[in-house]
Amino acid sequence: MQEHALPTYFLSHGGGPWPFMKTEFGHTYDALEASLRDIPRQLGSTPKAVLVVTAHWETDQFTVSASARPPMIYDYYGFPAHTYEVQYSAPGSPELAARVKTLLDGAGHATALDAERGFDHGTFSALYPVYPQADVPIVQLSLRHGLDPLTHVEAGRALAPLRKEGILIVGSGLSYHNLRAFNAQGAAASHQFDAWLRATMALPPAERTAQLLTWEKAPAARMAHPREEHLLPLMVALGAAEQEAAAMPYHEDAFFGALAVSSFRFGQAEA
């Protein structure tokens, strides 16, 4: 048990296998990559493992990846052939998976283990810049069908003890996720929603949670998130550090030329 509770993160993870497409994307992802590479400095030490709440896995009940050697899941389409051969060989942690299940079960969330689940791009694209040596164990947690915000905040609350056990909790999604308007067409909606999101993060904890639970009332909410699976990982990261201040380690006003996107950290950085 460590004295200092690790912060939690909501990371806007970018699109597809972007870290492995530097030639194709040029400088598009430079700011996001720099923010991810800075996380080890912010933490001050290497966590025992990372628990990733991924936007790319939904199940009837919360489910935890429990493979000791997770395979790869290439859950994207139309990318160059080499991106379907990417390997991110970080180990899993059946022990952490069991601990996560115990915490969630204990809070009334019936939880399953999946010994076959591999790393999806919401996990390996976000974590590769953070730990390029793939030497930190990673466990994934699914979203629960229905995508109820309170259910996911409550799951985060149940997982909060992990922060003092050396486990880094990461929600991996995108603060703007309308793939039909991932260009100038979505600029206004992304900026309106992002401004609301940033303002909400600065509120006192109880008010902040209340606002996020009713996120659909935000300006341009359904334009920014026609379906909210890329926002829900934020709820878990928030719930696990609910009383702590938020910071914004990443923000862009012209992502893909026009979009506003952000990442958030809950809790103090060490460095």
3-state secondary structure string, 157-181? HHHHHHHHHCEEEEEEECCCCCHHH
Has residue 88 been placed in a domain?
yes
Total count of domains within the chain: 1
Has residue 248 been placed in a domain?
yes
Give burial (CB, 10 Å; 0-12/13-18/19+) of 165.
Answer: middle
Q: Report the half-sphere exposure of 14 (CA within 13 A, side-chain side).
A: 27
What is the Cα gyration radius of the chain?
A: 17
C-alpha 141, offset from chain centre: 10
7 closest CA partner among 55, 46, 52, 42: 42
Question: What tokens were used for 140?
Answer: 């994934």
What pLDDT, on the 0 to 100 scale, is given for residue 271?
Answer: 66
144 closest CA partner among 61, 52, 236: 61
What pLDDT, on the 0 to 100 scale, is given for residue 4?
Answer: 86
CB-based contacts of 190-193 (< 8 A; 24+ apart in sequence): 190/220, 190/224, 190/258, 190/259, 190/260, 190/261, 191/253, 191/259, 191/260, 192/219, 192/220, 192/224, 193/218, 193/219, 193/220, 193/221, 193/223, 193/224, 193/225, 193/260
Q: What pTM, to 2 d.p., does this model score? A: 0.97
What's 119's DSSP letter? B
* Residue 16 zone, left/alpha/beta (φ > 0; ψ -120 to 50; rest): left
C-alpha 199, offset from chain centre: 20
Question: What tokens were used for 59?
Answer: 């199940």
What pLDDT, on the 0 to 100 scale, is given for residue 3?
Answer: 67
What pLDDT, on the 0 to 100 scale, is given for residue 65?
Answer: 98
Q: 47-79 b/e with 16+ CB inside 10 Å = b?
A: bbbbbbbbbbbebeebbbbbbeebebbbebeeb
pLDDT tens for the chain, 271 residues: list them: 666 899 999 999 999 999 999 999 999 999 999 999 999 999 999 999 999 999 999 999 999 999 999 999 999 999 999 999 999 999 999 999 999 999 999 999 999 999 999 999 999 999 999 999 999 999 999 999 999 999 999 999 999 999 999 999 999 999 999 988 899 999 999 999 999 999 999 999 999 999 999 999 999 999 999 999 999 999 999 999 999 999 999 999 999 999 999 999 999 887 6
Has residue 3 been placed in a domain?
no
Which structural domain, as residue segments, surrounds residue 199?
8-266
Has residue 236 been placed in a domain?
yes
Chain length of the chain: 271
Has residue 271 been placed in a domain?
no
Contacts for 146 with CB less than 8 Å, ≥ 6 apart: none
Has residue 2 been placed in a domain?
no
CATH number assigned to the domain comprising residue 213: 3.40.830.10
